[in-house]
Amino acid sequence: MLLIYLIREMPPEVAFAVLLAYFLAICVAMSLHEFAHSYAAYKHGDMTPKLSGRLTLNPFAHFSGLGLLSFFLIGFGWAKPVRINPQNFRNYKKGMIAVSLSGILTNLVLAFLFSGIFYLLVSTGVLFSTTLYSTNLFITFLYYFIYFTIFLNLALFIFNLLPIYPLDGFNFIATFLRYDNKFVQFMYQFGFVVLLIMIIPIFNGQSILGMFYSNVMSWIINLFIGFWQLFF
């Protein structure tokens, strides 16, 4: 659901709380994803992320202005890619694997942990019956911050798993393939086109990526809920 449709019927103060929650959720998801890439590269011998100011949790070091705006306008966005020099890795393959998987796994862990927090707060009644017109702005903010954090981290996890250039899933697979591999060469040439086709809503207003998200995300959330139900 686009954010504009979510907040359009809300009172101004509630809409502001939801927008703030969304912005902070983006900060968490994107900054930790990019920091994980930077830290993995740094630990494997590449100083490039540190020298370029990306070895930090400061979200403003990772934001792309257009990517951030896109998050608010269409619900899909991006951060500035972390520049690395794989030739600096002590072990090229291990370094590439670590960098490729670090961001993906960080988003998965964040979604898992925040789903546990969400389930705990709901089961204990803290977030009980929160509505679009809740008079408790803090509870509204907390509800949507946790909700958006789960959603954005799962979205980034699923999206970056795709073996399409320049996503992490492709970089992971390409580590094990020759540079002249036909799949690798195709993705280097047409990866952005493939992504564009997947993002454009062509099936009754829904994109291929949207349909993929809805099925995979619901399955993962149900898995998380099943796990947390064992404890709460």
Q: Quickly state the pLDDT bin for 2 (edges 50, 70, 90).
A: low
| Mean pLDDT across 92-115 | 97
Q: Which residues of 124-163 are buried (b: 16+ CB within 10 A; e: fewer)?
A: eeebeebeeebeeeebbbbbbbbbbbbbbbbbbbbbbbbe
| Mean pLDDT across 43-63 | 96
Q: What is the pLDDT of residue 72?
A: 87
- Residues 6 or more apart in contact with residue 182 via CB below 8 angstroms: none
| Mean pLDDT across 112-138 | 80
126-148 tens-digit pLDDT: 876 555 455 688 988 999 999 99
Q: What is the pLDDT of residue 205?
A: 67
The domain spans of the chain are: 3-161+200-228
**With 80 as the cut, is the pLDDT of residue 193 above it?**
yes
Output the pTM of the full model: 0.91
Better-predicted residue by pLDDT, 73 or 34: 34
DSSP-assigned beta bridge partners for residue 206: 203
- For the ranges 5-9, 17-21, 82-86, 93-97, which has the lowest average pLDDT? 5-9
